[in-house]
Chains A and B, each alone.
Chain A
Amino acid sequence: MDVGASPPSAGASLSRSTIWRLVTNGDLVTPRPSPSEVDNGTIDLRLGSLFLIGKRSSVAAMSTEHPEEGEKLFNEVRIRSDRDLVLQPHQFVLATTLQYLALPEHVCGLIQSRSTIGRMGVVAVAAAWVAPGYKGSPTLEIYNAGDIAIKLRPFGVPFCQVILLRAERDAPKRSRYHCATRPLFARKQQHGLAGRWDWES
């Protein structure tokens, strides 16, 4: 049996050459990565310049039943590309990537930290799922699990990576975070991009 001739199965990671072919055709990601940022099954991603940082508040707790109500407890902060965000020990922030993903319908992804970053104590994303056909700059959940402050540089060294897998899919379904370009707080479906305005009949 010629393994090379059999169709790739769903769940198989894309090869480097397949990724590069898709990238040069304008798919998967923009800005186009450098060749060193593409490997078998993965593309490195850099941090963007916008962060959602929690602010001190008298609110006792956020509720998972109404996640959208927690949005007011976060400030959007922009960090210049030649400066650092200092992530204090045990601090949590939401960030986004410089890169904008545009996955074809037959490709899905998983975002994970790069091990270099992880070894410094930064937990960046717990296996965030990127659905087939997703477009946008994914929101990263970044937590400093260590006891030492860490400096994060926008547009700097690759911070995390997207693992690209083949997907089987029935029909496209748009995420409530579709076409996001900034870090987004949790949204309920009806308050997301697809919702109507309160005063609309």
Chain B
Amino acid sequence: MIAADHQRRAVLERFFNADRALRQISTHPESLTEGATQLLDAAQPVLREAATTFLDKWKERERLPEPERDRHLSKFCSQFGDVLRQFESTVIPALEGAEPENIPFEMENYLLQEVKSAAPTWNIKGTVLASEHRYNYAIGYHELSRWQNTVATDGAAGNVAPQRFIHFTIPRATRDSMSLHAVLLGHEIGHLREWHSPLATDDRFLVVFPEDRLDADRFTIPLIAVKDSFNRTSRSWMAEFVADVYAALLLGPGALFALDEIAAAVNSYVDTATHPSTPRRIAIMVRVLDRSGFLNVEAVGRSMYEHLLAYVDLSRGALDRQPEEGSVPVMSLVWNCLRPLMEDLIEACSERIGSPFEAREWWAVERAARLLEGGRPCGELEMHDHLVATPPAVILNAGWLIKATALASLVDELGFDPTLASSEIRANHVLEQLVLKSFEISSFRQANQWT
């Protein structure tokens, strides 16, 4: 009884703290993003219902005779503890990280559109964009209904309709960065597309552990353990390649530059159990860009073409290089199985989403880039005699075009001293702010059309 009582008190304290955290967030509803508002509106009643149910059911169980009472009550507390853990580890951090000053809220409209497009049949209740202090980009989803079902029926499946939330996590420090924006709209959305309509489990891309072709004696651990590692790594690598291919199809060169910049920040130039090395990923993206027509000087202009050639050189040989690893060459096994599938994978992804952004649209990128170079946002463009909201892929690539080839012009426009090292960094900061303003204007133009 004493142990269960202590657990009860601990669970109630956690309910109280979680509720207080949600109340604190709800004190400024005018600032919350749409996704955060939806999550908060869904989470508060679930938490309160959970607390009420906990107290009601505790009273019922208190009447049980010892020693079953203590054992039963302990188990009961653990179940609700699991529910609380999900609030504490996902819902509350997501809401706290969704403060507008910590996220690129200007992009929220486009992010919501991309989520709908990537998972059209899912009943997505809300999309939350949140930041954290760690240097981490991730996408996840959680279902509030799972908790409601646990709460309502003590763990058995209930009849509550799914309330699915998509949750993007970004590093707080890179809130304004074009790399972040490209990763969000490209790579992370690519993961969502894959979850919704998996290619990795398609027969064409199902990678089987080549047990019959292996000599178990060459491994220092049992083959069963090698197989486990192989399965995990092959699934993870395939997921990353799929997301990269989708990113390159959706955003063109901007996705490639973003990957390279983030890789430099996290030093991911070697293969790991979860991610292929950046040169390997760049090589695959270069293939996609080539198919989309971007590796063509007439299509993208001399400056961008030469910039892209540097990536072609970087990726040369990357696909042939074996991963560096210790005595258990799992990654080499994985790569040898995945490599023959890459071209078909690119083809399959293209069939899924078509070619949303191709080199023939580069003229719009150049037009948008000239605006940015002149210190102006590019949120709307005259296209085919109409003023339209500039698409995100055009905005991002225009930003990257200036960053890669014409930052000195922006330094001049801003009147900075070109001899100072800080001038380019400051100009880049202004460029990033202009890109965000472009997103804001583009969203406004999308919602407000007049000639």
Task: Please list the residues of chain A having a beta carbon within 8 angstroms of any beta carbon in chain B.
Answer: 26, 30-32, 34-35, 49, 76-80, 83-85, 98, 100, 102, 135, 137, 155, 173-174, 178-179, 181-182, 193-194, 196-197, 200
Please name all residues of chain B whose beta carbon is closer than 8 Å to the beta carbon of A179 when the two chains form the complex: 375, 413-414, 430, 433-434
In the bound complex, what is the Cα–Cα distance between A12 and B281 (angstroms)? 59
With A79-B30, A102-B376, A178-B375 already in contact, 11 other A-B pairs whose C-beta atoms are closer than 8 Å? A30-B380, A30-B441, A49-B440, A79-B31, A80-B33, A98-B444, A178-B414, A178-B415, A179-B375, A179-B433, A196-B422
Q: Which of these, B100, B416, B433, B437, contacts A78 with CB under 8 Å?
A: B100
Q: Is the CB of B101 within 8 A of A76?
A: yes
- For chain A, what secondary structure do more than half of its interface residues adopt (helix, strand, loop), or is it mixed? loop
B383 CB within 8 Å of chain A: no
Nearest CB of A to B177, in Å = 15
**17 residue pairs bridging A and B, Cβ less than 8 Å apart:** A30-B380, A32-B387, A34-B450, A35-B450, A77-B100, A78-B31, A78-B100, A78-B101, A83-B30, A84-B30, A100-B441, A135-B374, A174-B414, A179-B414, A179-B433, A193-B426, A196-B420
- Chain A residues whose CB sits within 8 angstroms of the CB of B34 once the complex forms: 80
Report the minimal beta-carbon distance from A71 to chain B, rounded to whole angstroms.
14
Distance A137 CA – B434 CA, assembled complex (angstroms) = 11
A155 to B382, CA, bound (A): 22
Residues of A within 8 Å of B120, CB to CB, are: none
Instruction: Tell me if B265 counts as interface (CB < 8 A to partner A).
Output: no
Docked CA distance A102–B445 (Å) = 18
Interface residues of B in 370-427 (CB under 8 A from A): 371, 374-377, 379-380, 382, 387, 413-417, 420-422, 426
Q: How far is the CA of A99 from the CA of B218 in the complex (A)?
A: 67
Which of chain B's residues has its CB closest to A174's CB?
B415
A30 x B377 contact (CB < 8 A): yes
A34, A76, A79, A135 pick with most chain B CB within 10 angstroms = A135
Interface status of B29 (Cβ within 8 A of chain A)? yes
Q: How far is the CA of A83 from the CA of B29 in the complex (A)?
A: 8
Q: Is B32 an interface residue (CB 8 A)?
A: yes
Task: State whether B417 touches A194 (Cβ < 8 A).
Answer: yes
- Interface on B for A, CB 8 Å cutoff? 29-34, 100-101, 105, 371, 374-377, 379-380, 382, 387, 413-417, 420-422, 426, 430, 433-434, 436-437, 440-441, 444-445, 448, 450
Knowing A80-B33, A174-B415, the reply to whether A31 touches B441 (Cβ < 8 A) is yes
Contacts of B444 in A (CB 8 A): 31, 98, 155
Shortest A94–chain B CB gap in Å is: 15
Residue of B nearest to A75 (CB): B101
Q: Which residue of A lies closest to B380 (CB)?
A: A31
Closest B residue to A25 using CB positions? B382
Q: Which residues of A contact B414 (CB under 8 A)?
A: 174, 178-179, 193-194
Nearest opposing residue in chain A for B410, CB measure = A179
Give the residue of A26, A31, A80, A193 whose beta carbon is less than 8 angstroms from that of B30: A80
B377 and A100: CB pair below 8 A? yes
Q: Give bound CA distance, A100 to B379, whole Å.
A: 10
Smallest beta-carbon distance A190→chain B, Å: 12
Given the complex of chains A and B, what is the CA–CA distance between A30 and B374 in angstroms? 14
